[in-house]
Every structure is written in C-alpha cells, then in structure tokens.
Structure 1
Amino acid sequence: MAKETLAPKTGAEYNEDSIKSLDWKEHIRLRPGMYIGKLGDGNSPDDGIYVLVKEVMDNCIDEYMMGYGKTVELSIKDHTVTVRDYGRGIPLGKVVDVVSKINTGAKYDSRAFQKSVGLNGVGTKAVNALSTYFKVTAFRDGKEKGAEFERGVLTNESKELKTTGDNGTLVTFTPDNTIFKNFKFYPEFLENLIWNYCFLNAGLKIIFNGKSYVSRNGLLDLLQRKTNEDEIRYPIIHLKGEDIEVAITHGNDYGEELYSFVNGQHTTQGGTHQQAFREAFVKTVRDFYKKDYEASDIRGAIVAAVAVRVVEPVFESQTKTKLGSQNVDINGPSMKQFVGDFLSKALDDFLHKNPSTADALKKRIEQSERERKDLAGIKKLANERAKKANLHNRKLRDCRFHLNEEPPAKNKEEFIAKQNETTIFITEGDSASGSITKARNVETQAVFSLRGKPLNSFGLTKKVVYENEEFNLLQHALNIEEGMEGLRFNNIVIATDADVDGMHIRLLIMTFFLQFFPELVKQEKVYVLETPLFRVRDKKETIYCYSEAEKKAAIKKLSGKPEVTRFKGLGEISPDEFSQFIAGDMRKQLMRVEQGDHIQQLLEYYMGKNTMDRQEFIIDNLVVEIDQAEEEAVA
C-alpha cells in the first residue's frame, strides 16, 4: 500500500486566538466595499464619497415620501458635507442609536415606512464609521439633541435643549481621507444625483450650495434632459399609475438607454423591474401592431425611464444598485405581472389615442429590422470567428470576477463588491500591455491589447463591428452585442500613452463606443487612465507627478538636485510601479456626454473631414511643452 504523503504545514496556528469579533464600526472600516461599493477619489459617480452623501440624502427623501418636509438643503464646502431636512426629526431618545447601532432604524417598522430606501438602517452607520467627523442633530417639537463622532466613536452627546428650529434632522460629516485618498467632490456628479431625486419626487425642492432644483413633470423632465428634441423620433410618451411611472421615446443611436428606479433609488445595474419593463414593452408593442417583431428591433434605439414603488424592496447589495425583489408587495403581484398589466393598458391606450406617435414608432422598429437583416450574414461569420479566437484570444487577459455573473448565496456582499471593482484596460502595444498585465489584480482587472491604431469608425455602419477583427473581439470581450445587460466589466479604462499617438488612439476608441455603443458612455462606464508624467526622487523619497505643477512642487519639496524622470510611454513604467497606479485609488478621468450634446455632431467635428473650424480649434488650444533641460537652459 502506497504511503500517503502529507503537504507540509504552513501558516499561523489556528486556535481560539484566531477567532476575532469586530464591532460594527471596525467591520465597516475593514470591509468598506461591502457597505458602499468601491472607494475611489471622486472621479467616478459611483465612488464611495457620493454613496455617503446619498445614504444621508435617502433618509431625507423617505421623510418627503411620507409627507413630511418639502425642502432638503445640501451644502458641500471643501471636504465637509451638511444635509438638513425638515421632516419629523429622529426621536430624541434614539439620536445616538440610529447612527451607531446596526439593525436600529425606523425602516424595520413597515407600518411607518412601507416603501422606504434609507431610514437609518446600515447606511448612516457606514457614513459615521467612514468619517473623521460626524455630527447629527435632531429637531423635534421645540427641542433638539445632538451627538458627535470620530470614525464611529462617540465623542460628545448633548442634552435635550429647547430650540426654535423647525422639525427635522441636520447631519454634518467629513469623509475619512485615510480611506478616500486625495478625494474631491465634483459638482456635476452631485447635480445628477440631485436631479434624479427631483425627477422621482415631483415637487420636492433640493437646495445645493444655494441653487434650487425642482421638477414638476417627473420622468418626463428626466428624459427631456437625457435627449435632444431634434434627435428623437417622436414626442416622449409619459405614463403614470399607482406606484409606477414610465417615460419612453426612440432615438437614432444604437443600443438601449434605460434608466430604472425603485423607491427613489437609481438602480444603475437594473434588476427585476427593468427586465419586466423590457419584456412588457415588447409584448405590448407586438399586441398593438399585431405583428411578431423581434425584441431587439422593438427596443433598438429606445430611451426610457421606469420608476416603481415596492414594499420592502430586496436589493442585491447595500449600495442598492440592482433590485432583486420578485414581487411588488409581500403577497402582491409579481414584478413581471405588475409592470406588464400597467403597460398593456396604459401604453396601448396611448398609442390608440396618438396615431402619429404610433406610426413613428412603427417606422423606427422597421428601420431596426432592415438594419438587422443587412447585418445577418456577416454577423454569423464574424461571431464564429470570434468564438474560435476566444479559445486562445491573445488580445484578452481575463480576470476571475465579472459583472454579469450571478452572485452566490454565500459571501454575496463580498462577491458584489468584487463585481463593482471589475475593470478592463484597453491598451496599445506589447510593452504597455505587458506592464499592466504583470501589475494588475487578476481577480478584478482584465487587459485587452490593441494592435496599433484602430479604424476611425465615424460615419460607418455597424457592419464594421463584425468586419473588423479587433472591434469584433472587443465587443465579445465586453459582451455587449445584445446590450448592456450582459456587460462583463463595471469599468472600461482606456490606457494609452500621453503623447500625440496615444491621444489619437483614445479618440478612435471613444469614436467606436459613441458610434455603436453610446450607452456605455451615457451610463458612465468609460474612463481614461491617468498615469504620472514624472517621477521625482532622492535617496529618501519618491514622488510621482501628474502635471508640470506637481513636478515643480516635488522638486521644491525634495530640494537639492533630485532625479527627475519623464515617462514618455506606459511601457517605461515598471510593473512594480504600475501596480500603485491601477490600485483602489486609481486616477482616471470619466468620459461623459454633456447635457445637450449631439453625439453625431460631436463626432463629425472631431473625427469627420478636416474642416477649417477644427484646424482653428487645434491652433487656439495648442500647448507647447518645454522639458526640464530646456527650462534650465532658459533659466
């Protein structure tokens, strides 16, 4: 009988001392991703600092939904956030508990808050634990009471005092800069958050740093903000029912652009309500025209928003970006039935009463049908090639976690936190790809390598996505051929050199996305990686600089004659160094479509024929770079 060989024992002893119990604040600080998603520095709209703001704002919105307080005041000065609502105010005897004791909050009493999102559950505790300073004050029936914390630790609790302040709650906090490194609040991301609150709560007034925001027409206003009147195919359809509201139109872009909400929460990753809307819209359209159109033809180029109110919603994670509830109420109809019944009546009635809109919708569907049939032959061949290439795809170094995978029942929160971190870097050239590949986190970061400059796809039809091998393989790597539902990565990061060629490649990739998959940009998934231009070091310290100003400050700080290195390309940065620049506090710039922008006009201007207007723009914005040697010569 063969002798069994045991592996050598490794690691620390596993005994009673190995078992640790963390209190609520320690656990939140140790695993912040489980509570607020990714950390970031504020460069992305889903970075943690905005989740902190939202957690506090959600409580104010819930008060408004219950009929208390029509105004919420938000102010952000430097790194400190202040939120004041005029609801009922936290019961004075529970001011400390609701922001520092897990499983304490009004939302656990469904009689008080049937369709809430916030209400002092886990959210405000996370804000408290992740802030260097946190203060809460409740105003209630002529009395007030406050408490102050540092990183979740109570430092001061005031006695109940008389007050002339209106009922409500005042929260002030400063995010912890040891967790959110080099963070900065960007007003445009906060404005989007505020507008969403207003669109979903018509009549609510939010005052942000002195400016008032209010919506009178709900989701109709949202879709008007997201579209251009001269680019949509028919006037926006706006339908409202009990606990549901939708707005629908079609444009000229490829793909689907859907905005979904539950109880005022923007579910950026969709969920059961969004899928129910997609299916119900297709069924209602088929029944109305009495024709079995393809679902992709009906939904092609759709721009829509759907908001539902659900009793005790179940979300996939604490950040509430994906709805998991199968029913509208505990014992009520399924989400599919609820949305389906509403659209089958309301949308059908609308189309019968508005024949011009019905005709325009029919023409748009038939246009999508013709385009799909034109692509059918080449699409099949291209997908077969891509399937073979995927078996040994040298262009893609994949990661272990993906956004479109179903979270397991065990360790679900941690799995979802990993999904939120999933990133694909699109690089050019072997040296840059090699550095990123060696430096990346193999669990959540993938690399797709381009071969030279991609094709300028402006003005081309979608055939080029299948005819061009690189475009087709990139489409398959992202898994976006059938829409955003299957997207495999939460972040798409373009990583090219910061020289003229690198900038051109960025433009070409962005043109590809805007031309054929604009929803990736509109849903704020695409970034450009920022890497340091200079390394300044002496024997004691190394400073990486992202601009000339930072370089000068570093030289001054280190004094003497520190060594200055100019990184001319990503390939010049060693993998060990690169790992610092693509970690959790990665610096990246979000690619956004500004409100009112016309995508085709933008592409025509920047990527179309070389017009005099563009030549003048380049001349007017030309930057002449002087390197260090020239600076010294001039000096």
Structure 2
Amino acid sequence: MKTLSSLEHIRLRTGMYIGRLGDGSNPDDGIYVLLKEVIDNGIDEFIMGNGKLIEVSVKDGSAKIRDYGRGIPLGKLVECVSVINTGAKYNDDVFQFSVGLNGVGTKAVNALSSHFRVLAIRDGQYAEAVFERGALKSQRKGKLKDKQKDGTYVEFTPDADIFGEYQFNLEFIERRMQNYAYLNTGLTLNLNGKSYMSQHGLHDLLTEEIGDDGIYPIGYYKGEHLELAFTHASGDNHYGEEYFSFVNGQFTSDGGTHLSAFKEGFLKGIQTFFKKDYRSEDIREGTTAAVAVKLKSPVFESQTKNKLGNSDIRGWVVQEVKDAVEDWLHKNGEAAKKLELKIIANEKLRTELNVVKKEAREAAKKITLKIPKLKDCKFHLEDGDKGENTMLFLTEGDSASGSMVSSRDVMTQALFSLRGKIENMYGKKRAAIYKNEELYNMMMALGIESDVSGLRYAKIVIATDADFDGFHIRNLLLTFFLSYFEELVTNGRVFILETPLFRVRTKKETRYCYNEKERDEATAALGSQSEVTRFKGLGEISPKEFGQFIGEDIRLVPVSISTLKAVPQVLNFYMGKNTPERRDYIMKNLIDDAG
C-alpha cells in the first residue's frame, strides 16, 4: 500500500490532470494545458470585474503571466498553488462562471514544472514563493518599494523529465489568445508584445474565420448566459459545417451538449420562421457558427475540458437559440431571403447527389462487398479508449504498403493504398467523388460519406514518399480533404507521416535520420567508416526496419490551417489554373537538382 501526496500523484498520473503529454506539436499537448490553467485564473478575475489586461510572455521553453486582478491572498499564497482543493472557486459568490472548478489547475502547473515562481501583489504588499517540481524552495513577504497594481505574476518552465524535448508553438498560443479575446470583450491580452482584443465577441470570430464568404451578414445574439453567431458560406468554397463552441471561455474542440443543443435550436428557429419542415442537412450544409455558454457547474468529459457533458442545459439552450435565430430573421428580411435560397439550393444538390450515390453504390456492389485496397484494423473510433489510437495510413502504390502491412499493429493501424496520383478535385462539385472509384472507396473506408462524425479512425495519416511525386500526391489528398471535408483538418484529424531520409550504419550500430542535420550528427558519431543510404521511397525500407517508424516512436506532423477563409485562396493558388503568379512563384523557387 502506498499513499502519495497530491503533488506526487500529479507527477505520477499526469494524464489524469492534463490529459496528455506531447512535445508541443499538437494544440492539446500538456504544455499548453499548463499555460491555459494559469491564464484562466486571470480570465476568471476579469469575469468578476477585476483587471482588464493579462500579459503573457513565452520564449525559450518558459512562460510568464501577469494579471491585474485582486492578487492571491498573501497569507494563502503557498497553499493556493500547492495544496489540492484549496481555492476560492468552490464559493459560488466569488466565482460564478469559472472554468477551473476542480482546484487543481495551478497546482498541476507547479507539480509539473522544474521551476515555478508565483508573486501576489495586494495594497502595496507582496508575497512570493519559488518551487521546483512542486517542492517549496523559498518564500518571502514584504512591502513593495515601488507602487504596483494588484494582481498575480506566475512564471514556470515545464519539467523536461516529464515532457521530454518540448517546444512551444506560438501559432497555437496566438490562436488561444484570440479566442480568449473573442470570449471576453473588453479584455486585452498581450502575447510577446502583440495585443489581442475584441469589441464584438463571436461576431468578430466568424468575420475573421470566413471573411467575405458569408452569403448574408453574420447573425448575432448575446444573452446573459449564451452568445452565438452564425452565417452560411457559399457552396463553391465550403462543404459541410464548421462550429466553434465554448464553455466559460474554454474552447470545447469535441463539442458536447451545448453544441448539439445549439444545432437543434438553430434548426427549429429556421423551420419556425419559414413555417416549413426543411430537413436538417439542407439547413446545416454550409453553416459556419460559434456558440458560447456560461454555466455555474460545468461537467466535462475529461480533465482537458474538450467536451461538455451537462445534459440539464439542453432545454434552455435549445429554446434560447430558437428564439434568437427566429428574432434575428424577422429583423433581417434580406438575409432571410438569401438563407432560404441557400436551403433550396442545398435541397436540389442533395437530390442530385442521391441519384449519383445510388448509381455509385450499385457499381460498388458489383465489384465486391469489401472495399478494395483497404487493409482494416480491428478497433475503430467508436470503440472508446481502444479506438483513440487508431489510424488509417494513405499510401501510394503497393510497394510502400507492402512494408507496412507486415509491420503495422493490426489492432489499431489500417492501410488504404492508392494506385498513384488521384484526380485534382479543386473546384469540383461533391458529386464528382462518386464518379471517381478510388476517392469513393477512400471516403467509404473513412466512414465519412454522410457526415464527418462517422469517421472510423482517430487519425488520417498521409504516408507518401519524400520525393516530388510523393509531395504532389500529398497535395492532391489535402485538396480533397479541404474541398469536401475541411472539418477533418480543422479538428486536427489529418497528419503527415515523417519517415527517415537516411540510414547511417556501421557493423555494430545503425541510426535512422530524418534530415541532413541528424545525418551529419550520426556520421560524426559513428565515424568515417559508416555507410550512408538515402531512402527515395517508403518501399525501400524493409518490413523488418519499418515497424519502428510506425510504432511507439512514430513521428506525425499535424496538418493545420490558420483560418477557414485562407483555404480557397491557398487551393486556388496551388491547385487551380496555371496563373502568371503561380508560374513566377515556381520559377523563383526552383531548385537546381543537377548541381
């Protein structure tokens, strides 16, 4: 039997408190959760009417955060950052709409940092404490020499013993700062000297996301506990739906009851206004919307708060959204007309698509009941914990998949091999998928025909050769996903597999290198007698060797886009018609291989 102190428990069972470790290459990685926990305290102060500025500095693997709230009570400073279940957030009168209700936040940051310093300032007095891995190293109190505003300052360095070689990606942090600003109008956040603020909340978020692509002006409503914004994007650039959902300032990337209630209320509001029983898919196709709720006791399905579980909120959210949407349409007649035309156009497209779908299904039945070129795995995304590590590798040709078939984990790793270059789907209607046997089979293998929520694998991994043909196939696949299923990319489901470019070996040792720098380091370490091989394609790596590159040490690069409005321009430039601009770009960036 062993009883751990609370901070020891956090270090031993890190996943229970921050969800995942990671090295900083994914926005949900633990180092960002640590940063968020500290900033959330400043946000909570702002919500309670204390302080309108939060300053954040992130560099060289460390973070510094200064808020201008009331400051942690000086006599309770050490307990507040090191004793679990100590804090003011259990008192409803003090914090009504806090995200960090479990009293763990800052304690987890403290326990998981090799250096953690906290300074509280109140009425000209200060208290300071310095910790290492949760252990108190020094503390002091006193009177400030120079007058400073009340508030709390925290600096921390995530512990490399726990997080390994990590790196903060400023793009992820900038995105989070912008979200904080949208959700807290009147608050200014500074990150490394750059300011983020918003005057119009979620309205600003949608404006930033879709730019001029909305077919009618953004609909907006703000109540006491609910804020929402919505529009429909033109079908030429956006298929499917895109939602941004938040609870008490926390971005819920996996949605939850507030998002499903919003969708239901949105549907009912539109049906009631037009007095027509339009189908939900015709109303929702092309929707881009954002919803934020404030709750007294949010219940999240995990410590990282990606999905809300409160079932008791459904009724009032549905009703308030329905009333808000209906009211907005009454006041905006021109927008209502454009929305109805969009719904009718969606109906027409769906009917046309159903005919094509039927023909494609009949053709598919004739071929075989199984999906050709798919080597499936045992578990899938719907299998709960067992499905969380599932992935589908999209490979080119049979040679690459040959190595993978014998070295993959048959429980969680599936393979779909492409015959070669797929069709460029830029600018084509969705019906075109059904006329392309390979893309149709890939869509069915992924399970996303009706809706991306049917996705069968946690990760879609593009595994092509690191040569020009491989890069071209990668671009064609990304064009396909961004054209028809962009939610897969925005939800962080699409990755690129990194495979070694070089093998450096002697008779005693073999090292695999992913770039020239690693190759040079390996050659220096193994000596001049070492033999260097460059891999041109995945098929050159033997099955015996390949296992290690798709096993525990797999290197995946997440595919991300900064905003939805960037997608049409990027696809048009790289995958559209040959323009003078693109020719100039190619000429400027040509690399002379002959030398």
TM-score by length of 2: 0.91
Of 314, 319, 324, the residue aligned with 2:299 is 314
1:473-512 equivalences under 5 Å are 473-512=441-480
Is 1:264–2:249 an aligned residue pair? yes
Per mean C-alpha deviation after superposition, the further-off stretch among 299-308 and 169-178 is 169-178
Aligned partners of 1:39 and 1:584 also within 8 Å: no
- C-alpha displacement at 1:345, in angstroms? 2.1
Aligned-partner Cα distance in 1 for 2:178–2:433: 35
- C-alpha displacement at 1:26, in angstroms? 4.1
Aligned-partner Cα distance in 1 for 2:474–2:496: 8
In structure 2, the partner of 1:171 is: 154
Is 1:219–2:202 an aligned residue pair? yes
- C-alpha displacement at 1:399, in angstroms? 5.0
For residues 125-174 of structure 1, the C-alpha deviation after alignment (integer angstroms, 9 at most, x for no partner) is 3323332222222223333223333333x141313222344322222111
Aligned-partner Cα distance in 2 for 1:30–1:200: 34
Of 188, 192, 195, the residue aligned with 2:171 is 188
Aligned-partner Cα distance in 2 for 1:337–1:524: 30
Aligned-partner Cα distance in 2 for 1:89–1:399: 53
1:326-475 equivalences under 5 Å are 326-327=311-312, 335-382=313-360, 395-398=374-377, 400=379, 402=381, 404=382, 415=385, 421-441=389-409, 444-475=412-443
Is 1:562–2:530 an aligned residue pair? yes
Is 1:197–2:176 an aligned residue pair? no
Aligned-partner Cα distance in 2 for 1:600–1:241: 34
**Structure 1 SS opposite 2:89:** helix
- C-alpha displacement at 1:28, in angstroms? 3.3
Aligned-partner Cα distance in 2 for 1:386–1:105: 61
For residues 307-347 of structure 1, the C-alpha deviation after alignment (integer angstroms, 9 at most, x for no partner) is 010111000000000000112xxxxxxx2221222123222
- C-alpha displacement at 1:76, in angstroms? 0.9
Aligned-partner Cα distance in 1 for 2:248–2:549: 38
Seen in structure 2, the aligned counterparts of structure 1 residues 300 and 171 have a Cα distance that, compared at 3 Å, is: same
Is 1:278–2:259 an aligned residue pair? no
Aligned partners of 1:98 and 1:105 also within 8 Å: yes
In structure 1, the partner of 2:567 is: 599
Aligned-partner Cα distance in 2 for 1:74–1:298: 41
Aligned-partner Cα distance in 1 for 2:230–2:27: 25
Seen in structure 2, the aligned counterparts of structure 1 residues 393 and 145 have a Cα distance that, compared at 3 Å, is: farther
Aligned-partner Cα distance in 1 for 2:473–2:205: 33
In structure 2, the partner of 1:62 is: 44
Aligned partners of 1:58 and 1:119 also within 8 Å: no
Aligned partners of 1:38 and 1:420 also within 8 Å: no
Aligned-partner Cα distance in 2 for 1:390–1:182: 46
For residues 208-263 of structure 1, the C-alpha deviation after alignment (integer angstroms, 9 at most, x for no partner) is 0111111111001100110121x210111111111111010111211000000000
Of 515, 534, 544, the residue aligned with 2:512 is 544
Is 1:105–2:75 an aligned residue pair? no
The code of the aligned residue for 1:57 comes to I
In structure 2, the partner of 1:46 is: 28
**Structure 2 SS opposite 1:124:** helix
Aligned-partner Cα distance in 2 for 1:170–1:206: 14
- C-alpha displacement at 1:350, in angstroms? 1.4
Is 1:88–2:70 an aligned residue pair? yes
- C-alpha displacement at 1:441, in angstroms? 5.0
Aligned partners of 1:423 and 1:492 also within 8 Å: yes
For residues 438-462 of structure 1, the C-alpha deviation after alignment (integer angstroms, 9 at most, x for no partner) is 5445555443332322222223221
In structure 1, the partner of 2:139 is: 158
Aligned-partner Cα distance in 1 for 2:94–2:141: 25
In structure 2, the partner of 1:304 is: 289
- C-alpha displacement at 1:577, in angstroms? 4.6
Aligned partners of 2:74 and 2:126 also within 8 Å: yes
Is 1:251–2:219 an aligned residue pair? no
Aligned-partner Cα distance in 2 for 1:33–1:424: 25
- C-alpha displacement at 1:611, in angstroms? 4.0
In structure 1, the partner of 2:215 is: 233
The code of the aligned residue for 1:289 comes to F
For residues 326-384 of structure 1, the C-alpha deviation after alignment (integer angstroms, 9 at most, x for no partner) is 12xxxxxxx22212221232221211111110001111111111100001123245457
- C-alpha displacement at 1:189, in angstroms? 1.1
Seen in structure 2, the aligned counterparts of structure 1 residues 127 and 421 have a Cα distance that, compared at 3 Å, is: farther
- C-alpha displacement at 1:83, in angstroms? 1.1
Aligned partners of 1:205 and 1:212 also within 8 Å: yes
The code of the aligned residue for 1:311 comes to K
- C-alpha displacement at 1:59, in angstroms? 1.6
For residues 62-114 of structure 1, the C-alpha deviation after alignment (integer angstroms, 9 at most, x for no partner) is 11111111111110111111111111222233333333333333322333222
Aligned-partner Cα distance in 1 for 2:299–2:344: 38
Report the aligned-residue RMSD. Answer: 2.7
Per mean C-alpha deviation after superposition, the further-off stretch among 168-177 and 510-519 is 168-177
Aligned length: 589
The code of the aligned residue for 1:530 comes to E
The code of the aligned residue for 2:374 comes to K
- C-alpha displacement at 1:533, in angstroms? 1.1
Aligned partners of 1:99 and 1:120 also within 8 Å: no
Aligned-partner Cα distance in 2 for 1:131–1:340: 42
TM-score by length of 1: 0.86
**Structure 2 SS opposite 1:107:** coil
Aligned-partner Cα distance in 2 for 1:107–1:130: 22
In structure 2, the partner of 1:24 is: 6
Aligned-partner Cα distance in 2 for 1:441–1:49: 29
Per mean C-alpha deviation after superposition, the further-off stretch among 231-240 and 166-175 is 166-175
Is 1:209–2:187 an aligned residue pair? no
Aligned-partner Cα distance in 2 for 1:132–1:512: 44
Gaps of 5+ in 2: none
1:578-589 equivalences under 5 Å are 578-582=546-550, 586-589=554-557
Aligned-partner Cα distance in 2 for 1:120–1:168: 22
Aligned partners of 1:38 and 1:421 also within 8 Å: no
Of 502, 512, 517, the residue aligned with 2:485 is 517
Seen in structure 2, the aligned counterparts of structure 1 residues 625 and 31 have a Cα distance that, compared at 3 Å, is: farther
Seen in structure 2, the aligned counterparts of structure 1 residues 456 and 240 have a Cα distance that, compared at 3 Å, is: same
Seen in structure 2, the aligned counterparts of structure 1 residues 108 and 474 have a Cα distance that, compared at 3 Å, is: farther
The code of the aligned residue for 1:283 comes to K
- C-alpha displacement at 1:605, in angstroms? 2.7
The code of the aligned residue for 2:477 comes to I
1:106-121 equivalences under 5 Å are 106-118=88-100, 121=103
Is 1:534–2:502 an aligned residue pair? yes
Aligned-partner Cα distance in 1 for 2:150–2:390: 43
**Structure 2 SS opposite 1:544:** strand
- C-alpha displacement at 1:300, in angstroms? 0.2
Seen in structure 2, the aligned counterparts of structure 1 residues 316 and 425 have a Cα distance that, compared at 3 Å, is: same
In structure 1, the partner of 2:61 is: 79
Percent identity of equivalent pairs: 52
- C-alpha displacement at 1:392, in angstroms? 6.7
The code of the aligned residue for 1:38 comes to R
- C-alpha displacement at 1:594, in angstroms? 3.9
